[in-house]
């Protein structure tokens, strides 16, 4: 069950809040529709419920707010807008990646593909999906973790009638299995066909909360369109007969010779006209909108009929002289599901507004529950008689001060609902598996690696032709004129893609538009980026060696004497560039920023380090390996002291020092961005 209490959005400058004190329930095993026109506050209410937008209120999902649920995706499935994902990723790859994020077995991806009926499109790219297929994929993402509750914002928008019918069948099936479904729509007929309960929003307020039968009878407003030259007389007769038979009938004068009769049918109206010899030009069943009654300027006719039809004044209804052309929500008094607070506010706003025109609307409700008040109420085909108020409305009207002596004591205001704080998106439950599927699911990484291999091979051949490059730099295709070799630049670019694609196509947190900054996710990205960088470094050296052997012979492919320390330096350089790209893209939320941070190491940081290390040195690090050997109680196994000394010499070089400084600064900046929201 969903229980929303006091949802109120923050005011927008001088404008009123988009949602004001919205409260409703969506029961378990039922489909609930949140109905309203555009800009009525449906999406804002949903975002407040899901804690995606700051405001006030609280929403319980089976008794717990969303931030108290350990794994929200396993409790609430959400569909907001289009599916967010890389356009070149396949449908199956997107779902498999989200399986790792939700912590469910990968086989679940194939199961939901069968449920939504797009198994044949599992290898289709996301960028090529139609609107209907995108909606199906979004529903599959919402159902991936088998949640109990579904919250869907406009799921049938842009779908054909056939696709909409299929979607509604899926929602009905989920509810029949014991789940809770809440969806938003601006189509009243869709809500009546699909939902078990309809909550109607208007200008950010709940104006009705009804079961679908009551909604279809009162808010969907089936009516009979009547055309007659004696429309006013016919309306009076219809109201009289309705009161005599204790039926609820509403007659609205549309102007001229037109009537709209709610709560009756063509047969009854035709018989009434025949008995009283009234000429009728048209009788037709129609279905109106879910809005308020029609407003027409008919004060002159209203006064004439009111003089012929005596009425008993009702204290709870505003006088006709103060009526304006702003229509009020018309609900039958017997509707116990109507929202009294919203209706009271609507009547209060109408009573406070000054009259601006002579337009009125005609409302002739008659109900057996009203007793004598109903039998003595005014029933006129053109008289301005709004719907009799419910008990809440009567109380609200009686509170209107008519003078200093009758002013009641002010009602005590209820305390404000608790504030809604937007929480960061949850990190993937299986971050390493998620990152592997993210990196291998698109062709960008493969194309980048192929471009690096081709560029390295061409540069190596050209450097070998000149004969001025050392062998170690030759195998790495690193000319002295370039700040970094192609392999290091490619590793940095792939590392920048690790976070850059997340912010560009936020599949992890599509509803929040960002990616969670978690240490577990960072460690997974660093590990995968390091593995990719090491593989790329080995492939570059191997391909360059093979090509140089084919072109110039085996003389240029001999291993150098210090191959161990050289290999460690090479791998550290490539991995460091990859990590710099990951951290910079995570801090600055951009792939371009990640690549710029990699290029800034040799271009900006290295000259600064060189300048700092220039000049005479009083002390040097000579004899460091022997001092390390003496420091240990036992001998270093396998000559590990030489490896450590090589690593220290590499760090002491300008490029190594600059890379270490950059990585340290970026890591501190990333930790600051992670810890700052938690401190707040």
Write the pLDDT tens digit of every residue in 175-196: 999 999 999 999 888 898 899 9
Instruction: Output the CA–CA distances (angstroms, integers) from residue 656 to 389, 610, 629, 653, in the order listed.
Output: 80, 11, 24, 5
Which pLDDT belongs to residue 280?
A: 93
pLDDT digits (tens, 9 = 90+) for 442-470: 999 999 999 999 999 999 888 888 877 78
Measured CA to CA, the distance from residue 136 to residue 329 in angstroms comes to 36
pLDDT of the residue at 632: 52
Looking at residues 555-566, what average pLDDT do you find? 74
Distance set, CA 381 to CA 222, 240, 303 (Å): 18, 10, 11
What is the average per-residue pLDDT within 11-27? 88
Residue with tokens 């730099």, as numbered in its chain: 473
pLDDT band at residue 529 using 50, 70 and 90 as cut-offs: very high
Per-residue burial over 406-443, b = 16 or more CB atoms within 10 Å of its CB, e = otherwise: eeeeeeeeeeebeebebeebbbbbbbbbbbbbbbebbe
pLDDT of residue 507: 82
Q: At what angle do helices 91-102 and 431-440 cross, to 10 degrees?
A: 170
More confident residue, 394 or 667: 667
Structure confidence at residue 380 (pLDDT): 32
Cβ burial of 347 (10 Å; 0-12, 13-18, 19+) is buried
The pLDDT assigned to 73 comes to 87
Give residue 627's pLDDT: 58
Q: Is 472 left (phi over 0), alpha (psi -120 to 50) or beta?
A: alpha
Determine the 3-state secondary structure of 251 from DSSP. Answer: strand
Which one is predicted more confidently, 322 or 102? 102
CA 126 from centre of chain: 18
Q: Token pair of 675, please? A: 């810890």
Q: How many CA atoms lie within 13 A of 119 on its CB side?
A: 8
Are the beta carbons of 441 and 93 closer than 8 angstroms?
yes
DSSP letter for each residue of 495-543: HHHHHHHHHHS-STTTTTTS----HHHHHHHHHHHHHHHHHHHHHHHHH
Burial of 391: CB neighbours in 10 Å, binned 0-12, 13-18, 19+: exposed
Arithmetic mean of pLDDT, 38-56: 91
pLDDT of 50 reads: 92
Res 623: pLDDT: 57
- Which pLDDT band holds residue 11 (cuts at 50, 70, 90)? confident
Instruction: Kindly tell me if the per-residue pLDDT of 578 is higher than 80.
Output: yes
- Burial (CB count within 10 angstroms: exposed 0-12, middle 13-18, buried 19+), residue 679: exposed
pLDDT class of 474 with cuts at 50, 70, 90: confident
Distance separating alpha carbons of residues 454 and 473, to the nearest angstrom: 17
Average pLDDT over residues 158-183: 92
Token pair belonging to 116: 């939504």
With bands split at pLDDT 50, 70 and 90, how would you rate the model's confidence at 589? confident
Which pLDDT does position 637 carry in this prediction?
A: 56
Higher pLDDT, 239 or 401: 239
Buried b (16+ CB within 10 A) or exposed e, 660-676: bebbebbbeebeeebee
- Compute the Cα dihedral for 184, 148, 124, 428 and give only its sign: positive
* Residue 347 pLDDT: 36
Tens digit of each residue's pLDDT (9 = 90 or more) over 591-642: 888 888 888 877 777 677 666 656 555 455 555 555 555 555 455 555 555 5
Average pLDDT of the chain to the nearest whole number: 76
- pLDDT single digits (tens) 227-238: 999 999 999 999
Per DSSP (E only), the strands in 192-233 are 197-202, 205-211, 222-227
Per-residue tokens: 24: 């409703």
**What is the model's pLDDT at position 644?**
53
Cα dist from 11 to 47, 170, 172, whole Å: 15, 37, 36
pLDDT bracket for residue 402 (50, 70, 90): very low
Per-residue pLDDT averaged across 231-252, rounded?
Answer: 88
For residues 654 and 332, the model is more confident at 654
pLDDT at 360 over 70: no
Determine the pLDDT at residue 326. Answer: 35
Q: What is the pTM of this model?
A: 0.69
Q: Where are the alpha helices (DSSP H) in 77-160?
A: 91-102, 107-116, 131-143
pLDDT at 404 over 80: no
Q: What is the mean pLDDT of residues 355-374?
A: 34
**How many whole angstroms separate alpha carbon 119 and alpha carbon 115?**
9
**Long-range CB contacts (< 8 A, 24+ apart) of 519-522?**
519/674, 520/427, 520/428, 520/431, 521/427, 521/428, 521/431, 521/434, 521/435, 522/582, 522/586, 522/670
The residue whose two tokens read 């961005």 is 673
User: In this structure, are residues 97 and 46 in contact, taking their beta carbons and an 8 Å threshold?
Assistant: no
- Which residues are bridge partners to 22 per DSSP? 7
Burial zone of 271 (CB within 10 Å; 0-12 exposed, 13-18 middle, 19+ buried): exposed
H/E run at residue 152: strand 149-153
Q: Considering only 374-388, 412-426, 445-459, 655-669, which range has the smallest mean pLDDT?
A: 374-388
Edge-first strand listing for the sheet containing 222-227: 250-255, 258-262, 222-227, 282-287
In the prediction, which pLDDT does 329 show? 36
Dig out the tokens for 222 from the structure.
């089936």
Largest CA distance in the chain: 122
Position 119 scores a pLDDT of: 92
Tell whether the torsion through CA atoms of 385, 390, 391 and 393 is positive or negative.
negative
- The SS3 of residue 56 is strand
| N-terminal to C-terminal alpha carbon distance within the chain | 32
Model pLDDT for residues 100-117, shown as the tens digit of each residue: 999 999 999 999 999 999
Residue 206, beta-bridge partner list: 201
Kindly report the length of the chain.
680
The predicted structure's pLDDT at residue 506: 85
């Amino acid at each position: 069950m969903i229980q929303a209490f006091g949802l109120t959005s923050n005011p927008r400058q001088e404008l009123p809040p988009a949602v004001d004190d919205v409260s409703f329930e969506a029961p378990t095993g039922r489909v609930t529709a949140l109905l309203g026109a555009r800009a009525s506050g449906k999406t804002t209410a949903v975002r407040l419920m899901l804690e995606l937008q700051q405001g006030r209120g609280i929403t319980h999902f089976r008794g717990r707010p969303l931030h108290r649920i350990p794994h929200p995706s396993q409790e609430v499935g959400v569909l907001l807008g289009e599916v967010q994902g890389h356009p070149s990723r396949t449908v199956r790859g997107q779902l498999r990646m989200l399986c790792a994020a939700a912590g469910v077995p990968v086989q679940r991806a194939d199961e939901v593909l069968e449920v939504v009926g797009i198994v044949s499109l599992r290898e289709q790219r996301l960028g090529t999906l139609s609107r209907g297929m995108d909606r199906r994929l979004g529903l599959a993402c919402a159902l991936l973790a088998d949640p109990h509750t579904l919250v869907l914002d406009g799921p049938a928008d842009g779908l054909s009638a056939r696709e909409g019918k299929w979607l509604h069948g899926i929602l009905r099936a989920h509810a029949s299995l014991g789940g809770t479904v809440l969806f938003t729509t601006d189509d009243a007929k869709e809500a009546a066909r699909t939902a078990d309960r309809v909550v109607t929003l208007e200008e950010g307020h709940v104006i009705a909360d009804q079961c679908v039968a009551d909604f279809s009878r009162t808010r969907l407003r089936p009516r009979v369109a009547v055309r007659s030259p004696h429309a006013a007389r016919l309306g009076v007769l219809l109201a009289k007969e309705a009161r005599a038979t204790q039926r609820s009938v509403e007659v609205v004068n549309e102007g001229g010779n037109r009537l709209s009769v709610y709560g009756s049918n063509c047969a009854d109206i035709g018989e009434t006209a025949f008995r009283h010899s009234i000429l009728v030009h048209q009788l037709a069943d129609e279905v109106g909108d879910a809005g308020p009654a029609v407003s027409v300027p008919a004060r002159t006719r209203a006064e004439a009929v009111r003089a012929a039809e005596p009425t008993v004044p009702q204290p709870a209804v505003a006088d006709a002289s103060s009526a304006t052309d702003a229509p009020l929500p018309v609900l039958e008094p017997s509707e116990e599901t109507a929202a009294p607070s919203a209706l009271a506010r609507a009547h209060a706003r109408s009573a406070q507004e000054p009259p601006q025109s002579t337009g009125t609307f005609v409302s002739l409700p008659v109900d057996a529950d009203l007793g004598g008040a109903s039998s003595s109420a005014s029933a006129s085909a053109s008289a301005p008689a709004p719907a009799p108020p419910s008990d809440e409305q009567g109380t609200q009207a009686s509170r209107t001060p008519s003078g200093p002596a009758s002013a009641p004591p002010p009602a005590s205001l209820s305390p404000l609902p608790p504030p809604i704080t937007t929480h960061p998106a949850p990190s993937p439950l299986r971050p390493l598996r998620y990152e592997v599927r993210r990196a291998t699911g698109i062709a960008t990484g493969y194309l980048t690696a192929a471009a690096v291999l081709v560029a390295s091979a061409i540069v190596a051949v050209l450097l070998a032709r000149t004969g001025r490059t050392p062998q170690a730099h030759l195998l790495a295709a690193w000319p002295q004129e370039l700040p970094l070799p192609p392999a290091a630049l490619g590793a940095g670019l792939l590392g920048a893609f690790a976070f850059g694609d997340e912010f560009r196509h936020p599949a992890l947190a599509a509803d929040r538009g960002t990616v969670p900054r978690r240490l577990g996710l960072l460690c997974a990205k660093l590990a995968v980026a390091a593995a990719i960088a090491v593989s790329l470094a080995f492939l570059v050296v191997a391909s360059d060696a093979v090509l140089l052997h084919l072109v110039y012979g085996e003389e240029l492919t001999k291993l150098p004497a210090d191959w161990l320390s050289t290999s460690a330096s090479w791998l550290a350089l490539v991995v460091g560039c990859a990590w710099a790209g990951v951290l910079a893209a995570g801090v600055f939320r951009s792939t371009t920023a990640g690549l710029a941070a990699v290029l800034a190491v040799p271009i900006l940081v290295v000259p600064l380090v060189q300048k700092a290390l220039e000049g005479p040195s009083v002390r040097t690090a000579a004899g460091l390996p022997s001092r390390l050997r003496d420091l240990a109680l036992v001998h270093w196994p396998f000559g590990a002291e030489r490896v450590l000394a090589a690593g220290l010499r590499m760090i002491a070089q300008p490029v190594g020092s600059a890379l270490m400084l950059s990585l340290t600064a970026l890591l501190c900046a990333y930790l600051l961005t992670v810890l700052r929201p938690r401190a707040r």
